[in-house]
Structure 1
Amino acid sequence: MSNQTLLPDGSEWLLRMDYTSRGVHGVTVLVVFSCFSLIAVVGLLSAISLSAFNTRSWATDKHPHLFVRTHVAAYFISLLISDLLQAIGSILNVKWIGDMAVVVGDVCTLQGVLKQTADVATAFWTLVIGIHTFSLLFLEIKQSRFTLWTTLIAGWSGIGAIVIAGPAALNTPHHGPFYGISGYWCWISPEYPTSRITLDYMFMFIAAAFSFVLYTLIFLRMRGNIVIERKRISFRRTGAAWRGKQFENQAMTIAKQMLLYPVAYTILILPIAASRFSAFSGTSVPFEVTIFSAAVFLLSGIVNVTLFTMTRRILPPDSFKIPKWTISNPQPITEYTIEAGPDSYYQSSGTYAESYEEKEKDYVYDSEPVPASLPSPPLRIRTADSVPTMLAPPHRSQQRGSGESIYNMYEAANSPIPLTPPDDVARHGGYGR
């Protein structure tokens, strides 16, 4: 199988590039760095998600400036997602290490798409964080929620459009596929050098340059060299430190801490920018320099996570509690009310209302029937582990009149029916007359 093919324009297009032992070791270093970055980014995204879930019910008036509710949190999460895509794209180098060669195919195209998407997205969201910080600290303008959603939707849509535009508009049989082998991995094919700059590196350099300018202006503003009075900007050589109208605002504090991310991004892209432009100009770049510059750029995820964890009081400590899921809770015992008649025989299974003791005095215990209008006492039944006990009838001497005997409804619950009847009951042949 040939490693190259001839394109219609007469140029050669690389189909396969074999790895040497040195190449395997160098690319393995990049995979290891990417794995560390992936773990760090996923861990931080999980922590932010847990904090947002636990603070979802916190009152807004008491916690108005939680990090998860600020605009910069959404922009920072987008930046972490970009770092995640960068790490996944580099981890795909594992296939080339296993095959000992980079081969054109679906995996190669996927790696090229991920790398370009990550490059453009990282640059864009770094620039957005810089602009947001500039508007808060320099201009003292607070962005609205409409601006937040517009930036998020337009940002990711624009990133997707840039990635799609290359292969959709420039992928022609005359120049070969848009994504192909680029050194020891896959990226935009060498047949599209202009696209490499305009659809990838240009966004990285614009983000770095604008971040540097914005950072410088903010620094001079905080130092007191730049003064804004009634929408007029003046410069002073010396001046008192400026704190701003909202210096104590938590949103301002978070914005100041976010200044570190554009600065870190600018530092991280300098080695890879220098090596790539040297290669574009025709200068031979040593293999070690290529691996070093790529490794430094892949540290973006680790650096962003490290900067976030070193910043104090961004996420409340109480928001990291893992929620406890309860299957069922014990329910209180329900009382049921049953209307019972005056001659109930199973009194120990329930408890009569106290008002019935007073009503008992109004009963006539003789041969006359009980008035129908007399209300029956309510009987409250509790669901408890108890066995009802039948109460013993009263002694004959306790009966009144010649009517039927009335059981003592307030006898103690532990008075069972006697097995042997009393003597006077036995002589008269039972209870009653």
Structure 2
Amino acid sequence: MDTAIPTRSGIICTPEEYAASLNSSSLIRCLTRADSIGLTITSQAGLLSLVAVLYVFIIIIRNAIYRSRRRSMRKWHIFQEPMDILMLSLFIADALQAIGAVMDLKWIGTGQVEAGQFCSAQGIIQQLGEVNVAITTGIIALYTFIGVWMGRGIRSNKITGAVVGAAWFLVALLTLLGAVLNRGSGKGYERPTPYWCWIGEPYLKWRIFGEYMWFWMTLLVSIATYIPLYLWSRGNINFDNASWWKFTIQRADHSEGLRGIRRRSLIMLLYPGIYCCVILPVSVVRWIGFVQERGGHSDHVPPAASFASVAIFGLSGACNAILLLTTRPEAGLFSRLNRDDMGLAPASPPLQPKEFAASGSNINADEEHELGRLPSR
């Protein structure tokens, strides 16, 4: 095996480090100039998401301070409805995922990815962030589906808080168990893979059950909930108000009155929709790598494909922040006023199609305040 460092490759490792990096089980990866450029792109995507998420947190803190200082407030709650808890969980996870991507700057500076404390920290932070983004997104999809299809929207903050808390505990437990059970000198549980640090190739089961299983579950849940709700928003599906499991299929209803309910039902589905768009490329690329590794071959996925898919995935935090700021939900964490102070009912469900004729012009007025809230029928 030729261990000479290629000329004009941009590699700054010593000959000994480069020779060690050629071993497939090596705990070091020497970066070429092209690798550093690719990492620059992924870290910039993560930095963009981090800045966007921090801006959302600034808005939350500003609004919380504003509401707490208002003397007219009779009673103030941080979380006024389940969506507040879900969105806070989503953006905390987005922040962790973005921090993990920004940590790639370390490898660009040193010219090599090497196992160690910093490497382990990056792998753990990324796992905590990425898996919790997936699970929280899946919960949002399920909440939306339950509220619309079953007509029984979950309005309990305690139940939602318990669900979100259990999800974070499960992810933390999986991450901790993986790091502790596979700890040891030379084991390299968190190692170069190969351009950043994550769960190493010998630990395929931990890769799948500790992270990718949740990605794919969220994809399936998002697709399974989006299709029927989209058809419902078009008027192709009509629910039986007495029995949630009964429905009829009909021609699309293009009446003007359905415009508001369509917008409300699809707004929250945009979060799972965006997630599907950003996770699909990286899932396909890494699945190809898994198949090659299981077949006894090394991972021959083109570096450009890996960097492009990870950069797209790293933009999920920015996409979620833009979606939130665009829909501007007038509730809880993201408004200066409580819903009671705005003169709004805390949980006014969308009207059924047969009720639109009697509601008249009130639809457009209510619609402005319902954007971004978890819908129900």
Cα distance in 1 for partners of 2:289, 2:267 equals 36
Aligned to 1:294: 310
Secondary structure of 2:25's partner?
strand
| Letter of the 1:147 counterpart | I
Aligned to 1:272: 282
The Cα of 1:309 is off from its aligned counterpart by 1.3
The Cα of 1:170 is off from its aligned counterpart by 4.3
Aligned to 1:137: 148
The Cα of 1:127 is off from its aligned counterpart by 0.6
Match of residue 250, structure 2, among 237, 240, 244:
237
Tell whether the 8 Å contact from 2:149 to 2:239 is kept in structure 1 after alignment: no
Cα distance in 2 for partners of 1:67, 1:219 equals 32
1:304 aligns with 2:320: yes
Match of residue 86, structure 1, among 81, 88, 97:
97
Q: 1:138 to 1:50 in 2, by over 3 A?
A: farther
After TM superposition, list the pairs within 5 Å mapping 1:38-57 onto structure 2: 38-56=50-68
Secondary structure of 1:180's partner?
strand
Tell whether the 8 Å contact from 1:221 to 1:242 is kept in structure 2 after alignment: no
Q: 1:13 to 1:105 in 2, by over 3 A?
A: same
Further displaced range: 283-292 or 71-80: 283-292
Q: Which has the higher contact order (CA 8 A, sep 6+)?
A: 2
The Cα of 1:280 is off from its aligned counterpart by 1.5
Aligned to 2:336: 319
1:99 aligns with 2:116: no
Give unmatched runs, 5+ long, in structure 2. 1-15, 293-298, 338-377
Normalization by structure 2: what TM-score?
0.73
1:177 aligns with 2:188: yes
The Cα of 1:229 is off from its aligned counterpart by 3.9
Aligned to 1:150: 162
Deviation track 1:249-283 (CA, whole Å, cap 9, x = no partner) reads xxx97664221100100111111111111111226
Aligned to 1:128: 139
Deviation track 1:372-412 (CA, whole Å, cap 9, x = no partner) reads xxxxxxxxxxxxxxxxxxxxxxxxxxxxxxxxxxxxxxxxx
Cα distance in 2 for partners of 1:208, 1:13 equals 32
Higher-Rg structure is 1
CA RMSD of aligned residues (A): 3.3
| Letter of the 1:293 counterpart | S
Q: 1:28 to 1:261 in 2, by over 3 A?
A: same
Cα distance in 2 for partners of 1:102, 1:168 equals 22
More helix by share: 2
Aligned to 1:212: 223
Secondary structure of 1:291's partner?
helix
Cα distance in 1 for partners of 2:327, 2:189 equals 42
Q: 1:185 to 1:87 in 2, by over 3 A?
A: same
Secondary structure of 2:38's partner?
helix
More strand by share: 1
Cα distance in 1 for partners of 2:263, 2:80 equals 14
Aligned to 1:159: 171
The Cα of 1:132 is off from its aligned counterpart by 1.4
Secondary structure of 1:69's partner?
coil
1:186 aligns with 2:197: yes
Q: Report how many residues are paired.
A: 308
Tell whether the 8 Å contact from 2:42 to 2:311 is kept in structure 1 after alignment: yes
| Letter of the 2:166 counterpart | A
Aligned to 2:34: 22
Q: Percent identity?
A: 25
The Cα of 1:314 is off from its aligned counterpart by 3.0
Give unmatched runs, 5+ long, in structure 1. 321-433
Cα distance in 2 for partners of 1:255, 1:68 equals 22
Q: 1:228 to 1:318 in 2, by over 3 A?
A: closer
Cα distance in 1 for partners of 2:255, 2:139 equals 24
| Letter of the 1:146 counterpart | K
